Chains A and B, each alone.
Chain A
Amino acid sequence: MFSDEEISVFLDELEEKIQVLNENILVLEREGGSQEALQEIFRAAHTIKGSSAVMGYDKMASLTHEIENLFDQMRKGLLPVSGPLVDTLFMALDTLQILRDEIIGKDVSVDIEQVVTSLKQFQGIGSPPSPGEAPESGRGPSKQPAGAIDDGIGEVEEDVIREAELKGLQAYWVTVQLDAGCQMKSVRAFLVFETLQQMGEVIKSQPPAEDIQEGNFETGFRVILLTGEDPDRVRNLLMTVSEVAKTEVNRIKLAAGQEVREQAASDAPAEKTEQAARADHEVKTVQTVRVDVQKLDTLMNLVGELVIDRTRLNRFAEIFEGRFGSGSGDMVETMNEISSHLGQVAGDLQEQIMKARMLPVAQVFNRFPRMVRDLAQKLNKEVDFIVEGHETELDRNVIEVIGDPLIHLIRNALDHGIEGPEERARLGKPRNGVLKLKASYMENHIIITIQDDGKGMDPVKLRAKAVEKGLINGEVAQRMSDQEALNLIFLPGFSTVAKVSDLSGRGVGMDIVRSHIEQINGITDVSSVPGVGTTFTIKLPLTLAIIRALMVELGNEQFAFPLTNVVETISVKAEEIKRVKHNEVILVRGRVLPLVRLSDIFERETCAEMDRLFVVVLGIGEKKVGVIVDKLLGELEIVIKSLGDYLGKVPCLSGATILGDGQVALIVDVRSLVKEIGVEEAVYAAS
């Protein structure tokens, strides 16, 4: 049957096409019968139908067949876009998704009959009975319906061609070349046949059709096509099939004196511009390959080795110069030149590989419009969902993590934020709520904001709620600023909605969101104005492998604090430090900050001066703690490396990095550090 690899390519493509369908059906719903969207949809459905049929997934093929038929009618303007129709289409897509899950072995079973029936009901609306293979409305007077075609060959082709020519059809040799790296030759070939059969009749193929459909051919094959279509149109349509590298359509001229109409000379320029346009288009299409991330990681390590060798070369040049003196001047210079060029190339290489790991956030964002639509419908809310910055790129590891938190925030905004249309009307707001999801770059970070114009959050209510739930005491609540009160929503077990819905509000929400984001060195912030709306801002690093860090010195060793956790650095006099029970604290702008000495945590000797101390203020969520270090060395971009399985998880360390001089510096795991020193008790003790 099919290899795992073929199936995985098929599944990837399927996923992609389902996404295309989702997006474009949303477009249809919004804008009515947009021809462009219909074309996209039709093409995607057609591809799924073809590939799934070849792969032997019959249910999927027959389902997409029905979908395709519907779209064909919509495309012809026979069937208007309507709410129920869109709902049915979405239902069909969900079924398709389930069928896909079935293939990857998830234990689900689905009955497609119901969906197919509802799809068929709509087909009844469009006037003519559903055309079997959705033929193009061609100019050819006699169109053979697709069916008994490529198997019946013989010595009679010439007769057939002559006969067809009498009917006004032309015969062409159609040569199709697939991409050399094509992984599903048989599927592509099937699609080519499908496409050809929409335009006419295939009466012969080389190699024989059976072989082609089995994939038993190099990269190309050719067929004789009888059609009334223009050869350019044939070629263009074939080029829309994925992984078709080249097609040629050549008129067959029979020897006997039939009138042979050459391509009129006047056609030529038009054809040329069209070709040129097509060439332009081809240039723009980005060629891609799928690469195992592991391979990229390996490449990255190799670059690391390159950098080290460059450093060695540098040192060697020095030694060389030292040993042979000025007589070696030229050679040393050349060596330095080579070394610096090597370094530059290695740096560029590193950057490019890093970029290769990046994916556009569209990967995640694309799922949301559909989700928002469904949710809004369920909640009887009217929402305009605006997405900006699809193209913003993030490391694939980051992309994998942000999906769930974003879903949660969007659900919250729809469920708790945006009011129902009637209420909005009463409040003098437009009936349609606006939910805006936006991604953008800011320096070395990506900022994702989720903004709604709903009812906002009231700090007074939040304080009361937190006290009621026993999360804080009344006194603390009173002293809180409004912003701090807003941040209460990130406390575990906090949920402002009395009624728990199945959408959100199980009280496990926001703290999980925040900790997910923190896992990838991100920061979550909230701002809200009662009656006006709420905005969540997520600040994420571009990549997980490289972070900006504050470098500090302790004894004669360097440590790195991820900058996302560093609130500020301050310098304090020894006498400012006060003791509360066993804890050292200082007052910073009137607030108590618990202190801890890095030398104590890491059991190191310190050479800090006693009268003036440097404190790095770290923040995890609302918890803050000051860490006393010997010296602040400044910010640095560092590559995170694991300490390896042998050492396993070392308390308070999250890894190590290699400094410019080849030395290793340890990276402090702020989360476990803050946890370990039990900031909470310290804070309570202090207040």
Chain B
Amino acid sequence: MAKGEKQIDSKEDQMVVFQLTEQTYGIDIDAVFEIIRMEAITRVPRTPHFVEGVINLRGKIIPVIDLCKRFNLPLAERTSSSRIIIVDVGGNTIGMIVDGVSEVLRVPLDSIEPPPPMIHGIDAAYLRGIAILDGRLVILLNLDKVLYEHEQSELQRFGVETA
């Protein structure tokens, strides 16, 4: 990854940009640990529906979630461009399946606009904002919320109900 190129500049953020059902999303590069190709995922029974399973990342067991399922978006076929973005959020290393990773973009902070209440079926609560870059709409995700907000409760609920 182009992590090394990161520049300290308060005026812009670097975003890893990826595709999910024809839409372009961005997440803060600081959260991204690495990006790997799709690999065999071991399903873990009795976990929330968006948890795809676990993978072996160099000897560590990492949970992987499907972002489409997370947002209840129509499921895309896994293709050769599908990737797992490994992020480090809230002290946990988590993999997120996306349709493809295109680039790292510098996003000037003043180009980020507050999100509309709902965009492409995703609640604004999970969004940091939207930005228009090179004529494209990039939806910026708030990973903390995406991974923890609703999931924590769902994860816990699962634990309680079935234990």
Contacts and interface: CB of A to CB of B under 8 A. Distances in A.
Tell whether A pairs with B: yes
B47 A650 contact: yes
Nearest to A665: B42
Interface of A: 301, 304-305, 307-309, 557, 601-604, 641-653, 655-656, 658, 662-666, 672, 676
Contacts of B93: 644
A604 B94 CA distance: 24
A269 B100 CA distance: 81
B50 to A, nearest CB: 12
Nearest to B57: A308
A646 B46 contact: no
Contacts of A644: 61-63, 92-93
Given A645-B92, A656-B54, 6 more contacts: A305-B59, A651-B46, A653-B44, A655-B61, A663-B42, A663-B56
10 contacts: A307-B59, A557-B42, A601-B45, A603-B46, A641-B60, A643-B63, A646-B155, A649-B159, A650-B44, A656-B54
Contacts of B121: none
Interface string B125-160: 000000000000000000000010000000110010
Contacts of A307: 59
B117 interface: no
Interface of B: 40, 42-47, 51, 53-56, 58-63, 91-94, 147, 155-156, 159, 162-163
Contacts, number: 87
A647 B155 CA distance: 7
B58 A305 contact: yes
Max chain A C-beta neighbours (<10 A), residue from B44, B54, B59, B92: B59
**Lowest 9 CB-CB distances: which A-B pairs, in order?**
A304-B59, A602-B45, A664-B42, A646-B92, A651-B162, A305-B58, A641-B61, A308-B58, A658-B56
Nearest to B93: A644
Contact of B61 (A308, A601, A656, A676): A656
B84 to A, nearest CB: 14
A646 B40 contact: no
Given A658-B56, A664-B61, A647 B45 contact: no
A642 B54 CA distance: 11
B62 A658 contact: no
A630 to B, nearest CB: 15
Contacts of B159: 648-651
Contacts of B53: 664
A655 B42 CA distance: 12
Contacts of A664: 42, 53-56, 61
B45 A603 contact: yes
Contacts of B58: 304-305, 308-309
Contacts of A653: 44-46
Contacts of B60: 301, 304, 641
A478 to B, nearest CB: 36
Nearest to A675: B163
Contacts of B44: 643, 647, 650, 653, 666
A51 to B, nearest CB: 40
Nearest to A304: B59
A656 B163 CA distance: 18
Contact of B46 (A557, A652, A655, A658): A652
B94 A643 contact: no
Nearest to B51: A647
Contacts of B162: 651
A671 to B, nearest CB: 12
Given A656-B54, A658-B56, A664-B54, A649 B163 contact: yes
Nearest to A641: B61
Given A643-B54, A645-B92, A646-B92, A656 B59 contact: no
A563 to B, nearest CB: 21
Nearest to B40: A663
Contacts of B61: 641-644, 655-656, 658, 664
Contacts of B42: 557, 656, 663-666
A650 B47 CA distance: 7
Max chain B C-beta neighbours (<10 A), residue from A604, A651, A653, A663: A651
Nearest to A307: B59
A642 B162 CA distance: 19
A221 B35 CA distance: 58
B87 to A, nearest CB: 11
A305 B56 CA distance: 11
Contacts of A672: 163
Nearest to B65: A646
B60 to A, nearest CB: 7
A602 B46 contact: yes
Nearest to A657: B61
Nearest to B45: A602
Nearest to B163: A651
Contacts of B94: 646
Given A653-B44, A665-B42, A666-B44, A648 B155 contact: yes
B62 to A, nearest CB: 7
Contact of A647 (B43, B63, B91): B63
Contacts of B46: 602-603, 650-653
A643 B155 CA distance: 13
Contacts of B62: 644
A308 B163 contact: no
A655 B62 CA distance: 12
B92 to A, nearest CB: 4
B18 to A, nearest CB: 20
A663 B60 CA distance: 11
A601 B59 CA distance: 27
Nearest to A656: B61
A209 B43 CA distance: 69
A557 B43 contact: yes
Contacts of B59: 301, 304-305, 307-308, 658
A647 B47 contact: yes
Contacts of A652: 45-46
Max chain B C-beta neighbours (<10 A), residue from A304, A305, A601, A650: A650
A167 B162 CA distance: 88
